[in-house]
Structure 1
Amino acid sequence: MTWSGSFALPRLLLAIFSVAVFLGWGGGTPVQAQTPASCDTSYTQAQEAYYAASFETAIALLRPCAQQPALPDSARARMYRLLSFVYLGQNDQNAARKAVESLLDLRPAYTPNPAQDRPDFVSIVRTAKEERTAQNAEDGNRRWLRWVLGAAAATALSTAVALVLGGGGGAGDEADPLPRPEPPPE
């Protein structure tokens, strides 16, 4: 093997890697700061991609904006709504549910519009809200139970301390009688 032959494979790999990077085949997308204006454009493009059944394109446009905390909650909720539609279009119920959960994190009182929204989306939102209500009720019951048990424990502890420090105060204890006063001088 000659010196130039031993470097042929690395040069070939370098050339393939360079072409892949140049064409954007690297798998990742460059990180860019999203502004409200660029996210509005991304939303519009994602909506068009959704209607064209280009779901991967729609996801790529929506996800960075939906996760941008600098955007208003209303814009992010709109992104998560469309993102859930896209996932439902792909028949990915789990991803759609996560998008709905994110939407409800931003807007807990969100109510879908059955006349405009997909029926499966309306169903997921209803189910997620019911589960959240049940979870909140369960958490409330747990808090109440902890409060009652804590109060009972505090009462028992204070009673035990009073018994130990106060000498018991039980029915069998006789108090020392007070000395009789001296009779008045005559």
Structure 2
Amino acid sequence: MCKKTITSILIVAFFWLAFSETLFALQNDNSISAQLKKARSDYYEGHFEQAQEIVMKLLKSGTLNSEQQFEALIILAEIRRAVNDEPGARKIIRRILEIKPDYNPTIEQEPPSFVLLVQEERRALKKNEKAFYQNKKFWLISGAATVGLFGIILLKNGNGGGQDNILPAPPDWPKE
């Protein structure tokens, strides 16, 4: 009787632990979604500080999945743009484009000024990327030229030909 009771308790405890974690994760996910909706609602109502507080708290918690983090960053970028902090908004938009490079909002999804800001930042990132690769080409060509120059110098001074002593030997010191 005692073994059956202990076995039953262990089985119930196992299933309770297995399913409670899943239920907790779902509940937490719903809570995060509700907080993101609240932040967006506060943003639309003009309560920018409250919306930013909610979003920053969520981002700092580290419990967001990538889609939730993406949504939180969009809300935060919109808030920064609304409070006339364009450099801050651009920085956040760069982070958004790092997470989802193909992010291309439409006017139906986001305010037109935000869509324009995203497009400008995408163009700026492409320019920076192009400049990086042009710089890379410069350094590769410079490095190859340097290696070639050192190779010529070493071959010329070795058995490859040329004069061994370019300058004549200095005169001897006078003897006293």
TM-score under structure 1 length normalisation? 0.65
Task: State the Cα distance separating 1:68 from its structure 2 match.
Answer: 5.1
Quote how far apart the aligned CAs of 1:109 are.
2.2
| Structure 2 counterpart of 1:137 | 130
Q: How does 1:1-186 map onto structure 2 within 5 Å?
A: 36-67=29-60, 69-168=62-161
Give the 3 Å change call, closer, same or farther, for CA 64–104 of structure 1 in structure 2: farther
Root mean square deviation, CA, Å: 2.0
Moved over 4 A (4+): 67-70
SS at match of 1:112: coil
More helix by share: 2
Distance in 1, matches of 2:52 and 2:109, equals: 21
Deviation at 1:100?
1.2
Q: Indicate the residue corresponding to 1:30 in structure 2.
A: none
Identical positions, percent: 21
Q: Which runs of 5+ in 1 are unaligned?
A: 1-34, 171-186
Q: Which amino acid aligns with 1:62?
A: V
After superposition, the Cα gap between the structure-2 partners of 1:139 and 1:48, relative to the gap in structure 1 and judged at 3 Å, is same
TM-superposed deviation, 1:55: 0.9
Code of the residue aligned with 1:95 in structure 2: it is: G
- C-alpha separation between the residues in 2 aligned to 1:103 and 1:36? 21
In 1, Cα distance between the equivalents of 2:63 and 2:154?
Answer: 55
Q: Which residue of 2 aligns with 1:182?
A: none
Deviation for aligned residue 1:133: 0.5
Shift of 1:37: 4.3
> What is the deviation of 1:54?
1.0
Give unmatched runs, 5+ long, in structure 2. Answer: 1-27, 164-176
Q: Aligned equivalents of 1:67 and 1:104: distance in 2?
A: 20
8 Å CA contact retained: 1:87, 1:93: yes
The more displaced of 138-147 and 104-113 is 104-113
| CA distance 1:36–1:167, shift in 2 (3 Å) | same
Which one has the largest radius of gyration?
1
Q: How many residue pairs align between the two structures?
A: 136
Q: CA deviation at 1:128?
A: 0.7
Larger mean CA deviation between 126-135 and 82-91 belongs to 82-91
CA–CA separation in structure 1 for the residues paired with 2:76 and 2:116 = 16
